[in-house]
Structures are given as C-alpha cells and as structure tokens.
C-alpha cells in the first residue's frame, strides 16, 4: 500500500494542494452585479428580534437570515429618527451634510405638502445602481419629502433619486391614518391651537353678550373684526391639522396618488404584493429592491391573521406579521432561483420608541439591554439596531461580528458590488463592509462615529483598534422624566437642546466593550486612560467639524410647514380623495 501511495503521490499532491487552495466561499470576481434586497423596519428595537435575544416575540424568518448569514451586533444608525436616519442611509453621509438634520424641534418631514426633503443634488445609492443598469424599486415608506416649489415638481420624490419604480407612502405611518386611533401628529401643539381658538371665541361671545345687555361699550365694527380674525385663525390651522388623514396618509404609485386617504385594512397586502411582483418582473436582470416596511410604527397596522397571536399585545403582533412578510419575500427570491445571486440585508432605521403608550398599552419597541430609545441621539438604545446580511456561498453563514458599523456603510457596499464608483466631489462617511463581512479583515474601518441629535453632537464613539476597546463620550444627554425612568415620558420625545438636556464637562465616558448598557460612567479616579481618551475624542471632533460645510436647512420651520400649493392631490385641490386600488 505504501508503494501504491508513492506511485499515486504525483497525482494526489496537486489534488490536495488544489483543495487546500480552493476558497470555501465564492469569489466576488465570479459574481457580477448581484441582486440587492434591502429590508428596513420602522421603529423596531434591537431587543424585539429573536436572534438578538428576544425569546417571546417570534421572528423565525429574520432569525433564519441571521443563521444563514452575518449578524452585526454593533450596527449604528446615523440618527435616532426616521427622516435623518434614512437620508444618511440613502446617501452614505451624516444627515447634517445634506441639511436633513434639524436646528429646531421639528426633526422630521412633517407634511407631504412641505417644501423640505432630500436635496436633488444628493446622489443616492439607487441613482448609481440605476446608472449601472439595475432596475431599482422602492416599496413602502419614503419620508424624504415630495415637492419643492409646485405640486408636481417631485424634486424630492423617489423617482428623482434613482428609483425606477415607487409604490408606497411618501410620508410615514402615523396614528392619524387610523380613524379609530387617538391623533398622534403634533398632538400637544394641536391642543394649544384648539385652546387658543376656544378662548378667542369665548371672549368674543362674552363681548357680544355684554354689548347686547349694555354692560360693555364696544362697537359692532370691532366685534365684527374680532370675529373675522378668529375665523381666519381657525381656518389657518384647521385647514392643515383638521385634515391630516387626507394630506399625509396617502399612497402613491410612481408620481400618481392612488389612495387619498389610504385604506389601511389592505396596506400590508398591497406592499407585499408589490414587492413580490417587483422581484418577478425583474428576475432576468440585476435589481435593487428597497422594501421599507411601515411596520412597526404606530398605529401598528396588523391584519386579522396576526391579531392577538403574540405575547406582547398589538406591538408584538405587528412585529410577528412583519417577520412573516420577510419570509414571503425570501420565498419569492428562492422561487425565482435567485437565492445565491442575491444579497439580502435587514435593519431598523433606529431604536424603539419607549414613550409611545396609550393608557397601559405599550405601543413602542424594546431596546434590550441598551439605555434610551428613539429620538435620543447619544444613548445606545436610540441608535444601535439589528443588522443582518445574507448572501449564500459568498458570506460565511452563522457569523457574528461585534465591530462598529453604520447604516451609512450600505451605500459604498452596494455601490461597489454593482461596479459603480463612489462620488469624488463630496465626503462619504460610510465604509465598504464586504471585507469585514467576508472575514478578509478583522476590524471595521470606522475609528470614530459621531452621534447627533438634530444638528447637536451628543456623543462620539472611538474604536481603539490596538486594544479592541470601544469608548463612548457623551457631551449632552436628555433629562429623563420621571427621574430614573429611562425615557422622557413627560414630553413623549426627548429633546436635543434647551432645558430638557444636561451638558457634561468633562463628558460622560463609558467603555462599551465592558459596559454596553452605559450604566457605569468612568472618571479620572477609576480609569487611568480617562484624560487621554477624552483628549483623543476631542481632537477627532475638531477634525470632523472641519469637514462640514454650510448647506440649506431642509427641516427649517419654513420648509416643514404645510403649503397647500405643494400638497399631492388626486383630484382638484382641495377636493382630494380617491381609491384607484379598489378594482385591484
């Protein structure tokens, strides 16, 4: 047998070496332009998903993605609210670079009829993939604005930002879209407007009564002017806030309004149908599908099949339905034989909304062990989100990566996979993730990540690569109410500035590697490197600020107010109502 082995050696040796040199995963050079499916949940907390530690909400399909792909445990949103986070996701840039972070309390797009939005001069990954020959589609939520100067200029519309096809909400889902729910949009401000109107009417009524009884000497002309003023005041605000469901809760297909107001009972079905149809229509060429779920934002639209099925009330039902939708999309990919040629990504736009409650009902998500939640620019709970990639035979299955990564990293990752070139005329803050996902490199390219609340820098993360430590310095934190509650239950949303925040000098410092819950702030007394770390982060902030240039504020008060002449309308304004999906 030894003789036989000697004679076979010349044949065996090359074979063994060939097997040893053969890579276990497909080389990228063998795959040109994979299909790309991006799945983004809305307001989903990292603690709401099974593969991130939740053992009571059932998410088998998202968990399957994780098992078959790569799970990121330190995946960070660039902002803790929808509009700025999604702007950063689409452009690969911190939102204040495009003017999509606010100086005021209006930190998101507030009206379809507003003039702010993702500027036309921003280059989204969809636009580059479109130029690379991809079919590009956005199904679901947009929330990046619609028009600039006229009702049909569509300057902020998805079709002006690289998407060939759009079906969904140009705005975002809110409780006002569900007639049976308590209005959500600008609730406190709307209450003040009602109170002011009623006070004016009461004064006028009292004055008229006094004039009629002779108790007050006031001219009828003055009373008529006051009545006219009160009527104009009422019309000025009720024309917008009184019809939120008609102005904001609409569905569009490309540039056409198809439902005004939207019929919420069938929204889930239509979004799923459109997503699967897009895959089927484009299976013979490379495609980009961005499925931007309306789940799990209030009012938590959930079909009867899933109502009452979870252990976490309506919110849990809604998350389980979204997971089922993920499964349906994955099944469609498999059915068309696209599994091995499709990169699938799942994430949330930011953390769960802790303060969202109605009575004893918790309608917002859970952020696991992480402090804070939606709207909080610094605390981990507002910005650390699920991040999962699956690409069979290219990415190693069952891998977990605990390196700092960002939603902005999707931009360079998909652009380079499509064979595109990153824009050279602007700063791109994202980094290509493929070397990290494939295991070619050990560390993320991010040394520093800057955590903004509006335009205010609240915290900075430093990834000290030589030691693997992740430091985080908080310059500003929100004031929780009640004290120790972990959220701003008195306000509903934590502010970025003013009386509702605390400034820290020196900054609060945490070692996230040892204290991911940010429970034990360090000091010069208990951390020998305290001053060194604070100085290093301070220098990084100075360098970062040098890269910022002034741009128009897309979320200024003027840009966020409702403008009737910009309102998308499927009829003759103001008679805007239609249902073009009824026959379908």
Cβ(352)–Cβ(82) under 8 Å? no
3-state DSSP assignment of residue 195: helix
3-state DSSP assignment of residue 442: coil
Of 450, 584, 575, 559, the closest CA to residue 112 belongs to: 559
Please tell me the distance from the alpha carbon of residue 453 to that of residue 478, in angstroms, as a whole number.
10
What is the full DSSP assignment across 518-553?
--S-B-TTT-TTHHHHHHHHHHHHHHHHHT------
Reading the block at residue 407, the tokens are 């939603």
Reading the block at residue 154, the tokens are 């569509």
Of 392, 469, 403, 398, the closest CA to residue 435 belongs to: 403
How far the first Cα of the chain sits from its last, in Å, is 74
β pairing state of 135-141 and 165-169: parallel
Contacts of 571 (CB under 8 A, 6+ apart): 260, 577, 578
Contacts of 573 (CB under 8 A, 6+ apart): 151, 564, 567
- Compute, in degrees rounded to 10, the torsion defined by CA atoms 230, 233, 235, 240: -150
Cβ(507)–Cβ(475) under 8 Å? yes
Is position 82 annotated as part of the catalytic site?
yes
Please tell me the distance from the alpha carbon of residue 77 to that of residue 80, in angstroms, as a whole number.
7
Please tell me the distance from the alpha carbon of residue 465 to that of residue 422, in angstroms, as a whole number.
26
Tell the residue number behind the tokens 């701003």, with chain if given: 488
Catalytic residue chosen out of the listed positions 75, 143, 154, 157: 143
Cα 306 to chain centroid distance, Å, stands at: 24
Catalytic residue chosen out of the listed positions 75, 82, 156, 496: 82
β pairing state of 342-348 and 384-390: antiparallel
3-state DSSP assignment of residue 64: helix
Angle at 448 between CA 445 and CA 453, to 5 degrees: 130
Residues facing 256 on adjacent strands = 253
* Secondary structure of 281-311 in HEC code, one letter for each residue: HCCCCCEEEEEECCCCCCCCCCCCCCCCCCC
Reading the block at residue 493, the tokens are 């949303």
**Angle between the 313-335 and 60-68 helix axes, to the nearest 10 degrees?**
50
DSSP 8-state class, residue 396: P
Reading the block at residue 379, the tokens are 């605390």
Greatest alpha-carbon pair distance for the chain in Å reads 128
Is position 143 annotated as part of the catalytic site?
yes
215 φ/ψ sector (left φ>0, alpha ψ -120 to 50, else beta)? alpha
Residues annotated catalytic, as ranges: 82, 143
């Amino acid at each position: 047998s030894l003789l036989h082995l000697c004679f076979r050696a010349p044949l065996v040796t090359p074979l063994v070496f060939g097997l040893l040199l053969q890579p276990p995963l497909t080389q990228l050079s063998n795959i040109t332009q994979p299909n790309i499916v991006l799945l983004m949940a809305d307001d989903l907390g990292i603690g709401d998903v099974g593969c991130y530690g939740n053992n009571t909400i059932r998410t088998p399909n998202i968990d399957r993605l994780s098992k078959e792909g790569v799970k990121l445990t330190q995946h960070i949103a660039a902002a803790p609210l929808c509009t700025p986070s999604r702007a950063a996701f689409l452009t690969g840039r911190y939102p204040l670079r495009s003017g999509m972070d606010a100086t005021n309390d209006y930190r998101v797009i507030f009206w379809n009829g507003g003039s702010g939005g993702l500027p036309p001069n921003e280059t989204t990954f969809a636009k580059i993939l479109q130029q690379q020959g991809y079919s590009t589609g956005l199904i679901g939520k947009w929330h990046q604005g619609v028009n600039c100067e006229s009702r049909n200029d569509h300057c902020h519309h998805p079709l002006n930002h690289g998407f060939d096809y759009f079906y969904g909400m140009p705005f975002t889902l809110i409780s006002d879209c569900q007639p049976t729910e308590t209005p959500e949009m600008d609730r406190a401000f709307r209450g003040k407007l009602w109170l002011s109107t009623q006070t004016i009417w009461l004064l006028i009524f009292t004055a008229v009564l006094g004039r009629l009884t002779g108790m007050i000497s006031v001219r009828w002309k003055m009373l008529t002017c006051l009545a006219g003023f009160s009527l104009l005041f009422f019309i000025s605000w009720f024309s917008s806030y009184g019809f939120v469901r008609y102005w904001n809760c609409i569905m569009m297909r490309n540039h056409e309004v198809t439902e005004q107001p939207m019929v919420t009972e069938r929204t889930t079905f239509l979004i799923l149908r459109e997503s699967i149809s897009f895959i089927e229509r484009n299976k013979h060429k490379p495609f980009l599908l961005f499925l931007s779920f309306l789940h799990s934002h209030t009012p938590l639209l959930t079909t009867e099949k899933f109502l009452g099925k979870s252990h976490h009330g309506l919110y849990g039902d809604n998350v389980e339905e979204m997971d089922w939708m993920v499964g349906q999309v994955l099944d469609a990919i498999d059915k068309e034989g696209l599994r091995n040629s499709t990169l699938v990504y799942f994430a949330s736009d930011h953390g769960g909304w802790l303060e969202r409650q109605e009575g004893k009902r918790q309608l917002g998500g859970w952020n696991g062990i992480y402090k804070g939640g939606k709207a909080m620019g610094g605390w981990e709970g507002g910005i650390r989100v699920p991040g999962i990639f699956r690409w069979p035979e290219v990415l190693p299955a069952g891998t977990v990566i605990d390196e700092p990564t960002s939603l902005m990293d999707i931009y360079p990752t998909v652009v380079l996979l499509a064979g595109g070139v990153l824009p050279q005329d602007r700063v791109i803050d994202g980094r290509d993730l493929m070397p990290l996902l494939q295991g070619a490199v050990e560390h993320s390219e991010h040394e520093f990540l800057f955590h903004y609340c509006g335009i205010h820098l609240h915290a900075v993360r430093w990834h000290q690569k030589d030691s693997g430590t992740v430091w985080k310095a908080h310059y500003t934190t929100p004031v929780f109410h009640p004290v120790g509650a972990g959220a701003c239950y008195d306000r509903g949303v934590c502010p970025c500035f003013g009386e509702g925040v605390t400034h820290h000098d020196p900054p609060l410092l945490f070692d996230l590697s040892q204290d991911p819950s940010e429970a034990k702030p360090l000091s010069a007394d208990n951390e020998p490197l305290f001053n060194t770390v604070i100085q290093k982060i301070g220098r990084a902030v100075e360098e970062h600020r040098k890269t910022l240039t002034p741009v128009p504020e897309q979320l200024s008060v003027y840009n966020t107010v409702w403008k009737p002449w910009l309102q998308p309308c499927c009829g003759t304004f103001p008679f805007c109502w239609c249902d073009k999906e009824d026959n379908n």
